[in-house]
A and B are shown apart, each in its own frame.
Chain A
Amino acid sequence: MHPAPSVIVFTTLSGLGFGLLIWLGLGLPAVTGWVAFAFFAIAYALAVGGLLASTFHLGHPERAWKAFSQWRSSWLSREGVCAVAALLVMAAYGAGLVFFDTRLAALGWVGAVLSLGTVFTTSMIYTQMKTVPRWNTPLTPALLIAISLAGGALLAGEISAALILIPIAGVLQILWWVRGDGAFAASGTDMATATGLGNIGTVRAFEPPHTGTNYLLREMVHQVGRKHAMKLRGIAFGLGYVLPVALLLLPFSHMLAIVAVLAHVAGVAASRWLFFAEAEHVVGLYYGKR
């Protein structure tokens, strides 16, 4: 799949932002006043910034409001509804903390659940795609939720939680990669089922329908990004999981914490690039490609 920068930025930042909102909703850390304002500002900048970035790849952003209507069937619609609800509830909860020094605990919990729901619904947009076997697994929501909780804990300064959650996310990441590498073959879709000609013999794409490229090839058969996949996996794993844990184990300093956060975000962004670049869509089979 084409690793569109807007989508990578969106999923990385908003995952982190909603992750932080989950922790804030639970009252961890129990901040009020200006400190709470700073935490909420960061969380909203990430979450809203990510959502805005995601509208850049729409053909008609001005109609984006219509996307709230199909929550009965569409995960993308559910994500929109969840995100807006989470942001509204958390805004009311945050206002209580910042301006009135009061913690409306129940509101915070509702906000935390909605924020978690946003991360989950985002992950389901990818998970539901039977056409992309690498994504089509319960490991996808598990991984994306773990990354979001871990990043949120890191940003919230919940060090002991982060020290548990980052390794969990790291393990899920490895599992996700390993399963993903065999997913296309295991899906049962190949050139034989795509063309229905498999019972005659081996099928080979002889001539594509057009001499140039097209939307399908640009969007779904993006092979360039996979060239350095293994190196990128190493970078993603080192920066995203190993380095933050190592830094957190050192005696605490704000400088180290900032480096840990930046390393984690860079690592997750690299992993998100691979999430798209390595994902193979079955339509590639019609072009004899993956």
Chain B
Amino acid sequence: MTTLPETTTRKLGLVIDLDTCVGCHACVVSCKGWNTENYGAPLSDQDPYGADPSGTFLNRVHSYEVQPLATSAMPHPAAQLVHFPKSCLHCEGAPCVTVCPTGASYKRVEDGIVLVNEADCIGCGLCAWACPYGAREMDQAEGVMKKCTLCVDRIYNDNLPEEDRVPACVRTCPSNARHFGDLGDPDSDVSQLVAERGGMDLMPEQGTKPVNQYLPPRPKDTLDQPKPAGDIDILAPFLEPVMDEPKGFLGWLDRTLEKI
């Protein structure tokens, strides 16, 4: 059924920390690895070792350069590099679900996960058009729509050790930039994190009401800012160069060369 549920019991989703993501693409690889051999059709590649490789991925990491505006205090602010993982945001108002003509796309009432029933999908591609985030990719080998499943086959999987019952991307992230939990419960760890760090929606004006939240990068240390008055670095005095001027032979050489 491709009408959306009024509400869902839980709102499972991810919180992605743009401050700590180091852009290593480990989540991309682990996502592809887990999902190519589990839920649904494998994630195919076309011409993987050839001149024009491409393939199906459920999670991709973009990188953006952000150039802060110059101010009188900071006439030449340094640009920041922000790595930006992007997978399905399991939107509450998922436009990808309502456009689906076959009922293959649906949002689960129990946990809000947006899934594709591949046996019903005709591969019309309309849902990918409807998603503003580019979270759906048609598998070229299988002719069906693929998308992030929130690793539905891990999070409820009793055959896995408990610490593995989280999405593959979350489990693998070496910098803890991806968090998984119930964003419908204000007391959950992820909801607390979002409240604390000012988590945000992507493209709020599109009206998709994404469940996944992004934590903005924290302000960066800036080398080009005016030096604060006084010593702030307690180690600095100990690290003063002990020898300002070369002595001995080097000193003589330095002085002689200076004179020439």
Contacts and interface: CB of A to CB of B under 8 A. Distances in A.
Interface in A40-84: 57-61, 63-64, 66-70, 72-77, 80
A144 to B, nearest CB: 17
B174 interface: no
A251 interface: no
Interface stretch (A23-31, A170-178, A187-195): A187-195
Contacts of A205: 62-65
B138 interface: yes
Given A74-B2, A129-B129, A220 B134 contact: yes
Contacts of A1: 129
Contacts of A212: 52-54
B13 to A, nearest CB: 16
A206 interface: yes
A75 B206 contact: no
A76 B205 contact: no
Interface magnitude class on chain B: 35 or more
B112 interface: no
Contacts of A213: 52, 54
B120 interface: yes
A69 B103 contact: yes
A191 B65 CA distance: 11
Contacts of A60: 121-123, 143-144
A211 B61 CA distance: 12
- Of A57, A68, A76, most buried by chain B (CB within 10 Å of CB) is A76
A216 B128 contact: yes
B27 to A, nearest CB: 11
A59 B123 contact: yes
A208 B65 CA distance: 11
Given A200-B217, A204-B64, A219 B128 contact: yes
B102 A67 contact: yes
Interface in B53-67: 53-57, 60-67
Contacts of A216: 128, 134, 137
B102 A201 contact: no
B166 to A, nearest CB: 22
A58 B102 CA distance: 12
Interface stretch (B92-100, B222-230, B235-243, B251-259): B92-100
A212 B80 CA distance: 25
Contact of B120 (A66, A80, A128, A188): A66
Nearest to B45: A212
A226 interface: no
Interface in B61-101: 61-69, 77, 79-82, 84, 86, 95, 97-101
A210 B60 contact: yes
- Of A195, A208, A282, most buried by chain B (CB within 10 Å of CB) is A195
Given A60-B143, A283-B132, A76 B103 contact: no
Interface string A1-21: 100000000000000000000
A60 B66 CA distance: 42
Given A129-B130, A214-B137, A80 B101 contact: yes
A75 B66 contact: no
A165 interface: no
A206 B99 contact: no
Interface stretch (B156-164, B175-183, B184-192, B196-204): B196-204
A201 B202 contact: no
A202 interface: yes
B195 interface: no
Given A59-B138, A66-B120, A197-B82, A219 B63 contact: no
B95 A130 contact: yes
A131 interface: yes
Nearest to A187: B205
Given A1-B129, A220-B129, A286 B3 contact: no
A216 B129 CA distance: 9
B47 to A, nearest CB: 9
A279 B83 CA distance: 28
Interface in B203-232: 203-207, 214, 216-217
A259 to B, nearest CB: 36
Given A66-B120, A201-B67, A76 B99 contact: yes
Given A70-B102, A72-B3, A132-B129, A58 B61 contact: no
B126 interface: yes
Interface of B: 1-3, 18, 25, 28, 52-57, 60-69, 77, 79-82, 84, 86, 95, 97-104, 120-126, 128-134, 137-138, 140, 142-145, 200-207, 214, 216-217
Given A59-B121, A187-B205, A193-B205, 9 more contacts: A59-B145, A76-B99, A131-B131, A200-B217, A206-B64, A210-B54, A211-B53, A283-B133, A286-B134
**10 interchain residue pairs of minimum CB distance:** A59-B123, A59-B143, A209-B60, A201-B68, A77-B101, A283-B134, A67-B101, A76-B101, A207-B63, A66-B102
7 contacts: A59-B124, A60-B143, A67-B101, A70-B102, A195-B202, A205-B64, A286-B133
